[in-house]
Structure 1
Amino acid sequence: MNDLTNQVAIVTGASRGIGKATALLLAMQGASVVAVSRSTDELEELAHKTRGLAITADVCDEIDVQNVVAETLRHYGRLDILVCNAGVGSFSPLEEFESAEWDRIFDVNVKGTFLMCKAIVPLFKEQRRGHIVAIASDVAKRTFPNGTVYGASKSAQDAMLGSLRKEVRPFGIKVSTIYPGLVDTYFNDRQPGNPELEKTHLKPSDIAQAVRYVLEAPAHVVVDELMIHPITQEW
């Protein structure tokens, strides 16, 4: 089993939901966590709990992303793990979507993942180790009504990660993609904690445990893809 003690992990979208649960769990396992989000106040509270580093940044902005990596290296002197969790979505019939909403969803879900990976891959190649874990969605593998834009973004993200996985494997770099089903979180401006959803949805902590699982795999093992659903969800 891979020991996470003293490893340094960047977690994007860390201010709440899956990102927050993941940051807290990795810190409990001994990792130094760099929490990244656009929400400064929530980040500072999280950094206090994890005793890690909080960086307010937009994953869609290449300068912000480069600063995240530079500050991580300046503060800790190393980087071992990237968890690409930042994501947005909205759901409507195709003809009701504005092109600006298409841009927003693709910027965060696809471009944000691209920029974060682009910034750390050269470092990981140089040190010939590193682990990228991306929180995608099960809709990367299936379609559903009103999911045209979100599903397209997640399919694009998945294809990018699949190609990257093949590019970096010869350098000893792992790329793992996790595909959650229904999760009771803040996604799509929903407020978590509805008692009915607790019966039918996963919790953010369930996805955090999945991240821990793939990160703790032995050095010679890589979990390429992991699909995780609540048992009540039809697939």
Structure 2
Amino acid sequence: MPDLLPTPAHRPDLLRVSYDDYRALPAIANSDLSRLRDALDGRPPRTDSGSGALSFGTAFHTALLEPDDYRAGQPGLNDTLVWWLVEGVKLNTELNQLLAQGLTERSALFTEPTTGTLCKLRADLVLDQPGQPYTVIDFKTTLARDADHFRWQCSAYDYDRQAAFYTDALRAERFLLVGVQKVEPFGVFPLEVPAEMLAEGRRKYMNLLKLLQAPATAPAYRAAAVQAAVAALGL
């Protein structure tokens, strides 16, 4: 029997706010959980360094989801490659239809019911159309060799956690992770996240939310790093 999850009475409102305003919302995002995971795993704290990979991913998302806001000629970016990847996504009939019908870059605030934690999310694309499953889509640029390698990355890089976090919050009926190769042959790998992957992602985010509420439960050899990560979140 599948897990019976507590669900809110209704879906949280989808908000159209700038990225800076979203960042300023006093709530826990999936990226915050990644920082807590890094502390628990003994990884160095993350910094928003504006690395080439991040800049390329941001540029691709802007070109795909908010093309009117795309700024060409930014240092270190290959505009031709960015738009080539966008065209590759749109050659997929289903993805092109989702892009045409969906809402892009929408944010939401919600309270996770088990821990009572105020959380937030920002979805790449949400499809809420009559007669169609409520669908959330997230695009990932990737160096994966093929679709199987991308599926492995979804678990290894905790994309499954993001999928479960968003699915549960928005009561989505379908979550698509779309890998977009940024090197030849520039493949596109849509993955409808299966129930077992969502279950593993749910376990991950619930464990981190519980740790966030009770950082003293971290293993002693990671306690200082976890406490520092929680303090950095400003709770």
TM-score, length-normalised on structure 2? Answer: 0.28
Of the two, which has the highest radius of gyration?
2
